[in-house]
A and B are shown apart, each in its own frame.
Chain A
Amino acid sequence: MKNKLYTYCLASLLATGLLVSCDDELDIDPFEEGNPATFFNSVSSFQNGVDGIYSQLWNYYSSPGSGLQGIPDILADNVILSQTGRRSNEDYYDYRYNANTAGAISLYWSEAYEAINAANLVIGQIDNLAAGAARDNILGQAMAARAIAHFDLVRVYAMIPTQSADANNSPGIVYMKVEDGDTGDPYAQPARETVASNYAEIIGDLEQAAQLIGDSNGEGRLDRDGVYGMLSRVYLYNGDYQLAVSAANQVQTNVADAADLLDVYEDTTNEGVIIEWSVNTSSESGFNNVGVLYSQTTPPNTVSEYVIDYEFYNNLDANDLRLDVIQYDATNQGNNYNAVRKFLGETGQVNGRVDIKVLRAAEVLLNKAEAQFELDQEGPALTTLNTLRDARYTSYTGGESGQALEDAIQYERRVELSFEGHRFFDLKRRGEPIQRSNNGDIQDGTGTPPEVLILPAGDYRFQLPIPAAEINANPNMEQNPNY
């Protein structure tokens, strides 16, 4: 009997063993997430990865609190804080930021590196695709997007090469390239490279991307024109004026007519838009609404955060066809304001949810005109400038030369690219101060003027501080001076 019992006992042990088939059951794969090591195995899955990079760029350009589409204007002289708003970004507007200031400082640093990480993930596995145009197009998009994210980092947190003589040798940011073995160690504590080295790598990535990328990848994605357009900007920032002109010449896209301009900002046409980060406002109706940077609408009131600077608006030419896309009359708490029109919403909407205009054909012309002027090619520079002005004015005097021409190019740049995230960088890279007018926030110039009227050229606050969280996590990360 005993033997039988032990047999039974063994059988029951076995049964248990079978039932639970032991340790194999402990290997469970995630259900709703993918495996980054195996997911990328087809052109379409790689494109999912590339669209992921764009979505990360979209995140920091479109943030309704800190979007890169608007902060560089808030940091400069195109807008003034509205006293009846929520006083959002006031620390930025008044240049009171430090390494602990919430908002843009931590957002860009974190999100741009996430975009870079996403790009490196794609680039590092590109050999999973067979060589050919499809693979080149994926690689080109990823490299270009990686360059743009690094470019945003270095222009925000470091000096710009043309800004001053010491800029090139000053600390830049960390350039993360999977090909160079920069990735893979989550505990890495890299130190800053120089601005010159950053620009070399940005340009290297873009130039390579230009050879690989396709001509047309659809809305919201980079393509050949986008890469050359971006190159014209980066060369200009880097003082490579001849290269800037050449790159601008590679861009095929034409400037939008003034008549189409409102449609461009209401997203009914992409005329003249070379790079944009897009949103599908029907299936992505909960995504960021960038217009909130400037205002929110609760009819009949518009609660503006920032409104157009009195002097800037009143100096606009009466013949300027852009007036309607720049400004609209808004009221709040009984006050009238010159509110920012560009990001109010799609046609008929006031929710501020629109595509991000990163780079337009108009900017390429302005990059080219400025580069030509720097190369002492005043004639061609004027011609280039007039190409844009023809599309923007019912009539204009023109014919400038020398300083007047330089001023005209910069004036046109300020107006054309106003509120689109350029002004702070344009003043910074040219080594100029930020000078705000001493007018109030209300439409007639009364109200409260800016607390800080001037940020002198060379001020340390042109370089935003590296976020404190980074400094704490990475002792090798050098903080910018004076923070």
Chain B
Amino acid sequence: MRAKLAWMLTPLLALCMSFSYGQEKTVSGNVTDQNGLPLPGVSVVVVGTSSGTQTDFDGNYSVTVSTGQVLRFSYIGQKTVERTIGASSTINIQMEEDAQALEEVVVTGYGSRSRELSTSAVSTVSTEKIEAFVPSTSVDNILQGQAAGVQVTAANGRPGQTAFVTIRGVGSISSSTTPLYVVDGVPVNSDFINNLNPNDIETFSILKDAATVSKYGSRGANGVVLITTKQGRSGDARVTFRSSYGFAERIPDPFDLMNASQKLELERQFADLGVSAAQSLPGANADDAERARLIGLDTNWEEELLRKSQIQSSSLSISGGSEKMTYFMSLGYDKNTGIIDRIDGFERITARLNTTYQAKDWLNVGTNISLSRNTTDLPRDRNNVQNPFRAMYDYNPWDPLYSRNPDGSIATDDQGDPIFNPTTAGFPIAKALITEPEDNRNFLIVGSLFADIQFSDKFSNRFTVGASNNRYNRTARSLAGGVLNTIVGDANFPGTQTDNFQNTLQYNVNNLFTYTDTYGDYHNLSASFLLEYNENIYTSLFASSRGFPSPEIPYQNIAAEATSAGTGEARRSLFSQGLFVDYDYDSKYILSGSIRRDGSSRFGPENKYGYFYSGSAAWNIANESFMEGTFVNDLKLRASYGTSGNQNIGDFAFLDLLQFNTYNGNTTAIPIGVGNPNVQWESQAILDIGVEFGLFNNRINGVVDYFKKNSKDLLLDQPLSHTVGDENNSITSNIGEVENSGIEISLNADVVRAENFVWRVGGNVSFLDNKVVSLVDGSDIINGDFGYNILREGEEINSFYTVKYAGVNPANGEPLYYDLDGNITNQYSGAFNTILEGKSPYANIEGGFFTSIKWGGFGVRADFVGKAGNYIMNFQRQAGISIGNIDSNQRVEAFNYWKQPGDTNVLPSPLYQGTADQDSDRWLERGDYLRLRTLTVDYTLPGKFMDRTGIDRIRVFATGQNLFTITEYNGDPEIGIGSDESSEAGTAGFIPGAFSLFSYPQTRSYTFGVEIGF
């Protein structure tokens, strides 16, 4: 060790001694790339000192040095250049591309490889794609349409809401299909992903084939999303300030709601036809004067309940470094008020510090730490009158926001405040938004520290300790005198409040030893051994009280009495070893293999340890001599096969348990569930065959992958004889099997690559197919929140299962249905439910594409996303035209009912309300759409304007999100959660995107911002 140090010190000493008499002076110059274009951001360092700078936007730099010192110019993808300072005070540099360095690095899980030597299918999403989004967008939503093989369904439009992400289809029936998120080596629960600042993210790497996911063993089956945050680079500090402001509104519906006079007319028509629900409505009874008065009250409930949201975002980052140290620090603030009036929306503050330090020539240490806190309110998102998004469709336009006095003036209470109208729905929704506040706060810490130790040329070790900790607080109140307190509260104890506290800590320790060697000239071998330990600790606490003297003090300490309380805890742990081996022959023939052993506290005693393996191979055809000099720059064939697992199987499924409750106020201990000592991870095998290519000087490059993913041992309930006395009369067993297969294509092309004009296009598309292979004894499973989906062997997963509608009988307006034998009948029965083959909530085609143009300082970029082949049960349309809903507002379409024999293309006659309003495939619609997700126009000011200011970059931009959509769906086709609360994500039977039922809608936004760098 000492010898090494001495060796290292000598040149430094020599430098100091030889040149300590040099004269200080200012050296400036210009740095260009090999095409002569200015290169901004090039690090210019005085070797052996900590001083240095970076080139500005026009490639210029200026630095104080002494004669004899050495300037080092470095930039990613370029060969580093060194120049000794002589007499000249101008040094211009033309840098050369470094073929070696240009090779894109692919993150492969527990390390990275050059793309050339990678044998796996990895999709990468980088900064420029992330920046275009509204910053309060949860980062998982950003992935939509950006990476082949990643299916993202926005959960709903609530600011900060996370998305449903699956990678290569649905690989489970009853367990979570959310991928594993790993931020800088630290696993982070997907629920907390919305607390990351998108501006901090350098890349998303999506691992989707066996060659990579097998390395994650029992957590890899759903794919892995590796998030790498930004790091500083050696050189002067770069400060970037970004601020934007914007607004958003609900995406308009492709249909119209009735206004007061239309609604009154429909009520009159229905009442005349004898519809009983219409008889008591004003349209049936009002005289001319009353009718005129009601029309005068015409209320657009959307305007009363919603608003334009305000979206505000500011971020500041400072990054840089010296030779030995780098740092990246950032602060971010985001606010999105959401489109519901009278509540606060979403707010997030984030802070990050990433540092690395070359402590010894053989030791590099670093930390990545981020703190973030968000606050969001949780408006009622359910299918009833408490939900403003249901209310705006339901409330009659002749019902005004405020109650009216007999003289027509707005009624006021004793305080002189206007009284909210309870309306015919019996619920003053606007008041409820004020008196039933519910919000939650999340404080997330993600931190890690690592040490990279180079024992010798061949032997290295990376040790990482990381943790993520989320503290969740929720406060739900019913204020005294509020809407719900009046209905369900206790008059003696006005006001109720419940507080929840949950802490989720996950920590991870891993140690990776790597040995690399070259045998002969061509045989390259690398082997890594991994030891990893992961533990999750969840604790919870809640308390409820009633009797609050003031709504201004939302703390239970002041309440008259506590009504309930509880605490809880859960834990799970995972201990793993892995061996990963990579071999290549002259970068032409590549072989990789991995094996991992996972022990999990969730697995039964009979299957405590699982082994997961993968093997992969690639052939770099482009490196063969016969390909030299052709237009093909890159051509690689690769294949991989391997296994992984899904350990999201719940805790303690292997144990017989006792549950505690009460009976007549006394504690009870009752056995629940029979444990299955054999219970284990759900297992999966993926086959992947892919080709990657780069043509015409890499102006066109692309990747095509075929995959087939078999998910086996899926947890299903195997029925037991009830005589056993099991709570569910079933035992959780690894029985089911599903298969996903598909083709993924991504293509990018530089259509024009000129000095001042670059036009790029690119995109990706996935074709997906899935089917159920086996279930318990081949029996169907009725699934979904309303039982309108089915799992049947040989059919698509969660195919729709409902009654088939046969249209309206043109003779009498009666709705007709198909019975189970396929005969048309005027009867309706739930017993007619039948599988609708090939119609499921899952898209067959999903993808996105972009086009971007840069011309001088101007830039335009448009990103489109879309999918096709999925179906959505449009319960929202059902609610909007059901005859029985005549007491609520209706869509204008409702006028189009059968009126006389021969009418076709009409809604059923209101005379047949009983059979017409029923659930059937009448409401099932294709969910295909193509949406302009983001459109960004920006302009970067030429550097010459800023020579004197010290500012080297000013960019102004405007972004529109969701500007237009092409779809035939009667509503907004981007649906994840149909109706939160009544259909909670993560609960049994929940299927993302299966139906629409008044969840928070998607929004269209416009933001304007500026970015300043110096």
Contact B455–A5 (Cβ < 8 Å): yes
Instruction: Determine which of A34, A115, A477 lies in contact with B669 in the assembled complex, contact meaning CB atoms within 8 Å.
Output: A34
Contact B509–A19 (Cβ < 8 Å): yes
Contact A56–B509 (Cβ < 8 Å): no
Complexed CA–CA distance, A32 and B540 (Å): 11
Contact B573–A25 (Cβ < 8 Å): yes
Complexed CA–CA distance, A309 and B569 (Å): 54
Given the complex, which residues of B lie within 8 Å of A220, measured CB to CB?
663-664, 666
Given the complex, which residues of B lie within 8 Å of A179, measured CB to CB?
none
Complexed CA–CA distance, A19 and B88 (Å): 58
Which B-chain residue is minimally distant from A37 (CB atoms)?
A: B656
Question: How near does chain A come to B878, taking the closest CB pair, in angstroms?
Answer: 22
Complexed CA–CA distance, A120 and B671 (Å): 10
Question: How near does chain B come to A98, taking the closest CB pair, in angstroms?
Answer: 13
Instruction: Determine which of A16, A26, A467 lies in contact with B463 in the assembled complex, contact meaning CB atoms within 8 Å.
Output: A16
Given the complex, which residues of A lie within 8 Å of B666, measured CB to CB?
47-48, 51, 220
Which B-chain residue is minimally distant from A119 (CB atoms)?
A: B725
* Given A58-B663, A110-B729, A284-B665, A25-B724 contact (CB < 8 Å): no
Complexed CA–CA distance, A27 and B668 (Å): 26
Central interface residue in A12, A20, A45, A116, by most chain B CB within 10 Å: A20
B608 within 8 A of A: yes
Complexed CA–CA distance, A456 and B1 (Å): 101
Contact A36–B657 (Cβ < 8 Å): yes
Instruction: Determine which of B657, B661, B727 lies in contact with A114 in the assembled complex, contact meaning CB atoms within 8 Å.
Output: B727
Given the complex, which residues of B lie within 8 Å of A58, measured CB to CB?
663
B456 within 8 A of A: yes
Contact A219–B664 (Cβ < 8 Å): yes
Question: How near does chain A come to B576, taking the closest CB pair, in angstroms?
Answer: 10
Which residues 648-670 of B sit at the A interface, judged by CB distance below 8 A?
Answer: 651-652, 655-670
Given the complex, which residues of A lie within 8 Å of B509, measured CB to CB?
16, 19-20
Which residues 432-483 of A sit at the B interface, judged by CB distance below 8 A?
Answer: 467, 469-470, 472-474, 477
Which A-chain residue is minimally distant from B600 (CB atoms)?
A: A26
Complexed CA–CA distance, A332 and B554 (Å): 43
Contact B729–A36 (Cβ < 8 Å): no
Given the complex, which residues of B lie within 8 Å of A470, measured CB to CB?
721-723
Complexed CA–CA distance, A280 and B574 (Å): 43
Contact B721–A28 (Cβ < 8 Å): no
Contact A113–B724 (Cβ < 8 Å): yes
B957 within 8 A of A: no
Given the complex, which residues of B lie within 8 Å of A278, measured CB to CB?
663-664
Which A-chain residue is minimally distant from B729 (CB atoms)?
A: A110
Question: How near does chain B come to A284, taking the closest CB pair, in angstroms?
Answer: 6
B4 within 8 A of A: yes
Contact B719–A176 (Cβ < 8 Å): no
Given the complex, which residues of A lie within 8 Å of B760, measured CB to CB?
none
Which B-chain residue is minimally distant from A25 (CB atoms)?
A: B573
Which residues 112-134 of B sit at the A interface, judged by CB distance below 8 A?
Answer: none
Which A-chain residue is minimally distant from B2 (CB atoms)?
A: A1
Given the complex, which residues of A lie within 8 Å of B963, measured CB to CB?
none
Name A's interface SS: helix
A186 within 8 A of B: yes
A411 within 8 A of B: no
Name B's interface SS: strand
* Given A9-B455, A23-B575, A25-B575, A30-B652 contact (CB < 8 Å): yes
Which residues 192-244 of A sit at the B interface, judged by CB distance below 8 A?
Answer: 219-220
B989 within 8 A of A: no
Question: How near does chain A come to B545, taking the closest CB pair, in angstroms?
Answer: 16
Contact A36–B671 (Cβ < 8 Å): yes
A39 within 8 A of B: yes
* Given A6-B455, A48-B669, A477-B721 contact (CB < 8 Å): yes
* Given A13-B511, A20-B531, A34-B657, A283-B662 contact (CB < 8 Å): yes
A180 within 8 A of B: no
Which B-chain residue is minimally distant from A475 (CB atoms)?
A: B721
Complexed CA–CA distance, A34 and B658 (Å): 5
Contact A52–B668 (Cβ < 8 Å): yes
Given the complex, which residues of B lie within 8 Å of A20, measured CB to CB?
509, 531, 533, 575
The 0/1 profile, CB within 8 Å of B marked 1, for residues 151-187 of chain A is 0000000000000000000000010100000010011
Size bracket, chain B contacts: 35 or more
Contact B725–A118 (Cβ < 8 Å): yes
Contact B511–A51 (Cβ < 8 Å): no
Given the complex, which residues of A lie within 8 Å of B599, measured CB to CB?
23, 26
Complexed CA–CA distance, A55 and B671 (Å): 12
Complexed CA–CA distance, A183 and B459 (Å): 58
Given the complex, which residues of A lie within 8 Å of B600, measured CB to CB?
26
Contact B725–A33 (Cβ < 8 Å): no
A141 within 8 A of B: no
Contact A118–B1 (Cβ < 8 Å): no
Which residues 100-153 of B sit at the A interface, judged by CB distance below 8 A?
Answer: none
Size bracket, chain A contacts: 35 or more
Complexed CA–CA distance, A40 and B729 (Å): 24
Question: How near does chain B come to A184, taking the closest CB pair, in angstroms?
Answer: 9
Complexed CA–CA distance, A116 and B572 (Å): 33
B461 within 8 A of A: yes
Given the complex, which residues of B lie within 8 Å of A45, measured CB to CB?
669
Instruction: Determine which of A37, A55, A120 lies in contact with B663 in the assembled complex, contact meaning CB atoms within 8 Å.
Output: A55
Complexed CA–CA distance, A22 and B534 (Å): 11
B83 within 8 A of A: no
Instruction: Determine which of A26, A120, A283 lies in contact with B575 in the assembled complex, contact meaning CB atoms within 8 Å.
Output: A26
Complexed CA–CA distance, A367 and B722 (Å): 32
A54 within 8 A of B: yes
Central interface residue in B513, B723, B777, by most chain A CB within 10 Å: B723
The 0/1 profile, CB within 8 Å of A marked 1, for residues 443-464 of chain B is 0000000000101100101010
Contact A186–B455 (Cβ < 8 Å): no
Contact B723–A188 (Cβ < 8 Å): yes
Given the complex, which residues of A lie within 8 Å of B520, measured CB to CB?
none
A190 within 8 A of B: yes
Complexed CA–CA distance, A174 and B601 (Å): 36
Given the complex, which residues of A lie within 8 Å of B569, measured CB to CB?
31-32
Complexed CA–CA distance, A467 and B658 (Å): 26
Given the complex, which residues of A lie within 8 Å of B674, measured CB to CB?
186
Contact A39–B724 (Cβ < 8 Å): no
Central interface residue in A28, A56, A109, by most chain B CB within 10 Å: A28
Contact A109–B722 (Cβ < 8 Å): yes
Complexed CA–CA distance, A106 and B27 (Å): 89
Contact B669–A39 (Cβ < 8 Å): yes
Complexed CA–CA distance, A467 and B571 (Å): 38
* Given A9-B461, A283-B665, A33-B722 contact (CB < 8 Å): no
Complexed CA–CA distance, A257 and B1 (Å): 100
A117 within 8 A of B: yes
Contact B725–A116 (Cβ < 8 Å): yes
Complexed CA–CA distance, A186 and B671 (Å): 13
Instruction: Determine which of A6, A40, A280, A469 lies in contact with B722 in the assembled complex, contact meaning CB atoms within 8 Å.
Output: A469
Which B-chain residue is minimally distant from A190 (CB atoms)?
A: B723
Contact B533–A118 (Cβ < 8 Å): no
The 0/1 profile, CB within 8 Å of A marked 1, for residues 720-739 of chain B is 11111111010100000000
Question: How near does chain B come to A354, taking the closest CB pair, in angstroms?
Answer: 12
Complexed CA–CA distance, A113 and B724 (Å): 7
Question: How near does chain B come to A381, taking the closest CB pair, in angstroms?
Answer: 36
Which A-chain residue is minimally distant from B454 (CB atoms)?
A: A5
B629 within 8 A of A: no
Complexed CA–CA distance, A19 and B608 (Å): 21
A96 within 8 A of B: no
Which A-chain residue is minimally distant from B667 (CB atoms)?
A: A48
Which residues 460-487 of B sit at the A interface, judged by CB distance below 8 A?
Answer: 461, 463
Contact A474–B729 (Cβ < 8 Å): no
Complexed CA–CA distance, A54 and B667 (Å): 11
A selection of 13 A-B contacts at a CB cut-off of 8 Å is A19-B533, A26-B599, A28-B572, A32-B569, A32-B570, A35-B658, A36-B657, A48-B667, A52-B671, A114-B670, A117-B725, A188-B724, A469-B729
Q: What are the 9 tightest A-B residue pairs by CB atom distance, in nearest-first order?
A: A117-B725, A20-B533, A34-B658, A52-B670, A280-B665, A55-B663, A473-B719, A474-B721, A52-B668
Extra pairs beyond A16-B511, A28-B572, A113-B723 (5, CB < 8 Å): A1-B4, A5-B455, A25-B601, A26-B600, A110-B729
